[in-house]
Chains A and B, each alone.
Chain A
């Protein structure tokens, strides 16, 4: 009855045992096939199209089109807009997350809904809202133009439009992470006599830095590529208010295919870098990100 070590084990029959939590291999490979094929057609093909169209007339033509003044101006403007909108939204995100997670007040859920609002507003409607607030024919906009500070069809309008559409990214990433981490560490620092700023720099920020980076990354990608909202407020003045996506549209409509796709390829390359960094963050710092990104 007790184990008999000398006996040879009887080899079990049916070696192709399938655990109760698995589909048959045929079903498994069918589903994987559909997923791969679907993503290849829907996502990878357009990606490849950007580069093949950009290089349709060779590398030289693509590179030359990028050194054209319109392209250079567009790249400079987009970088400038991003450099304004992303840090401001990061500051907002940190402040909002601090306010929401460190204090208890009525209407918190409503505030979160308001912060999320830009995600459910069409970018074109966002641009329209800005035109109706700051346009030259409105009270506020007219006054600002008279003072020499036009908003619409100028850089501030583009920055505001970009901020509108990317507004929730950082806050949304930080809030769940800071809720999960709770207030204990800050409270401990407080009892040790640390000042508010000291607590933020030495306790909170190190805890949220990866989540912050993640949110900034998403915010940045969207800021560089925003089209609908910017199209409405930019006025599309070459060299002044034409961002990269707007310039792509203008070139495309003028049948400058190589130029349009070359500029698009630059944005695509930046999108790929963003994805790469994002995936690296998800793999290496999964436990420091909001739970929905851990996979």
Chain B
């Protein structure tokens, strides 16, 4: 702990770069978040609990978290598969497939929202198919799930891809010379090597989905207790000028986000300990 706060360095631009960094960080991020926490503090823990501890709020938080978890699990499996196919196999159209993975990052959420709704509405291309087998997708929890899968799709694939690229061929060959079938090698050698990156991607997809708004509200139907997501509750409170209520729910969501951020960091520390790198 004897380390000085700042090591002396001949490099120029310390004052300027530090000044810009801290000033902008404060104005854009820290002060606004501070304002939220301050509002919560002046509103009081008890009052905040009263706001959150209502069936409608619990139901929305629980719905957001549960569907986000389901979507992230789907993306965990599909993302690892995608990463494997994109890194290991050569086939026509691979580059296009690779670029398509990023589309959910690039496409504005509101656009994704209305496009998914158009597809899965009862008269849409997929919605009418589903209706024939008696399933309603848009304006139900299925619709929310599909929207959340869409926005979280790239995370696992993109964190796992570089790890697959770095697997030494000799490790897989060693497994084969020891008599292991290809499936056994995938299950016991490859997957454990991918696990830390895949879990990081999973947590990122989960965090994104819990806070997602734009792509969900169009397809959700927004029926209280059934298809109302947590971020929408904040918007509703704000429209009623109930800033304290909005702050209470906002802080609850912030806590969930921080818990997940912590989880991501713990996963990375754990994997660094175990295999000596991330």
Where the two chains meet, the residues of A that have a C-beta atom closer than 8 Å to any C-beta of B are 20-24, 28, 31-32, 34-36, 38-39, 41-47, 49-50, 53, 88, 91-92, 95-96, 98-100, 102-106, 111, 113-115, 117-126, 128-133, 135, 137-138, 160, 163-164, 167, 183, 186-187, 190, 195-196, 199-200, 218, 221-222, 224-228, 231-232, 244-246, 248-249, 252, 260-261, 264, 267-268, 271-272, 274-276, 278-279, 291-292, 294-295
Contacts and interface: CB of A to CB of B under 8 A. Distances in A.
A260 B235 CA distance: 22
Contact of A167 (B16, B28, B119, B247): B28
B128 to A, nearest CB: 13
Contacts of A249: 110, 218
B13 interface: yes
A43 B21 contact: no
A289 to B, nearest CB: 12
Highest count of chain B CB atoms <10 Å: which of A199, A248, A260: A248
B97 A35 contact: yes
A132 B247 contact: yes
Interface string B22-38: 00110111111111101
Given A96-B21, A232-B235, A49 B119 contact: yes
**Range class of the B interface residue count:** 35 or more
B99 interface: yes
Given A38-B78, A88-B24, A218-B105, A95 B16 contact: yes
A85 to B, nearest CB: 10
Contacts of A115: 25, 29
A114 B30 contact: yes
Contact of A128 (B150, B182, B238, B258): B238
B86 interface: yes
Contacts of B234: 124-125, 128, 232
16 contacts: A20-B173, A28-B89, A45-B119, A102-B9, A103-B7, A128-B234, A129-B33, A132-B36, A164-B29, A187-B10, A231-B214, A248-B111, A249-B110, A292-B158, A294-B162, A294-B165
Contacts of B6: 103-106
A124 B5 CA distance: 36
Given A35-B82, A295-B161, A102 B11 contact: yes
Given A95-B21, A105-B6, A164-B28, A120 B261 contact: yes
Contacts of A34: 81
Interface of B: 3-7, 9-14, 16-21, 24-25, 27-36, 38-39, 78, 81-82, 84-87, 89, 91, 93, 95, 97-116, 118-119, 124-126, 146, 149-150, 153, 158-159, 161-162, 165, 169, 172-173, 176-177, 182, 186, 204, 207, 210-214, 218, 231-232, 234-235, 238, 243, 246-247, 250, 253-254, 257-258, 260-261
B13 A228 contact: no
Contacts of A22: 182
B107 A271 contact: yes
Given A35-B97, A122-B213, A132-B39, A196 B257 contact: no
B108 A224 contact: yes
Highest count of chain A CB atoms <10 Å: which of B39, B89, B108, B210: B108
Contact of B13 (A43, A123, A196): A196
Contacts of A199: 12
Nearest to A263: B111
A275 B99 contact: yes
B94 to A, nearest CB: 9
A49 B89 contact: no
Closest 7 CB pairs of A and B: A225-B108, A122-B211, A196-B12, A129-B32, A227-B214, A20-B176, A228-B213
Contacts of A92: 20-21, 24-25, 28
Contact of A133 (B32, B106, B149, B261): B32
Contacts of B31: 133
B20 A91 contact: yes
